[in-house]
Amino acid sequence: SQQGEEDPQALSIQEGENATMNCSYKTSINNLQWYRQNSGRGLVHLILIRSNEREKHSGRLRVTLDTSKKSSSLLITASRAADTASYFCATDTGRRALTFGSGTRLQVQP
Amino acid sequence: DAGVIQSPRHEVTEMGQEVTLRCKPISGHNSLFWYRQTMMRGLELLIYFNNNVPIDDSGMPEDRFSAKMPNASFSTLKIQPSEPRDSAVYFCASSLGTGQGYGYTFGSGTRLTVV
């Protein structure tokens, strides 16, 4: 079963707008990670947030984590056409390998 | 570093044939993972290794699937005999460790089509 579930499944925005994706999970975690996958390619690690952190930034990316609600969000600010991809959250429970969510397909219109 | 290298990139085979997928992890990474991606089931962990030892193979669908890691720089995933429902993209990934807060580096995947 999926540990992480992303919402929405698909998102279409205009270039320059912000994109927000959400991830919910079921069990306690050590950390949560976000990955990007371009069409026909492998996943690329974007950012990791630990269970004792609430917010983290990396360039145009902002990740939040609410362990009480078992949820995380990924915000991409000032989106570009090159941000078009699928985005996945992955949970690390410390007991086995990462479990990936079902992903959000982001389309950024130029 | 060239990253995680998988071969072949594409494989088309007939039902019943043996298929072998190959992976070279990043040098120095201690953990290696095999995932399968389909539209219906998303990304599923098949098996992972720590220091060349299989740790968790609970995701391997059935006895038709086997994986080996004879040394730190090479792993194979074998399907024998293959079936149409095995059609998917198979990813290999490696990391510095498991459960310690390390990100994974993925290969480009092998797209397997069983006809």
pLDDT tens for each residue of A57-81 = 999 999 999 999 999 999 999 999 9
Give me the total of CB pairs closer than 8 Å, taking one residue from chain A and one from chain B: 59
Q: What would the two tokens of residue B3 be?
A: 């990253």
Distance CA B86, CA B114 (A): 7
Structure confidence by residue, pLDDT tens digits, B10-42? 999 999 999 999 999 999 999 999 999 999 999
Q: How far apart are CA B59 and CA B37, in angstroms?
A: 13
pLDDT digits (tens, 9 = 90+) for B56-114: 999 998 899 999 999 999 999 999 999 999 999 999 999 998 777 889 999 999 999 99
Give which of A32, A72, A71 is closest to A50, Cα–Cα. Answer: A32
DSSP state of B99: S
A87 interfacial to chain B (CB closer than 8 Å): no
CA-angle at A42, arms to A97 and B6, nearest 5°: 85
For A:61-80, CB contacts with B below 8 A are: none
Q: Point out the residue among B4, B45, B105 whose CB comes nearest to the CB of A97.
A: B45
Out of A33, A42, A99, closest to residue B103 by CB = A33
* Contact status, residue A20 vs residue A104, Cβ threshold 8 Å: no
Mean pLDDT (whole number) for B43-63? 93
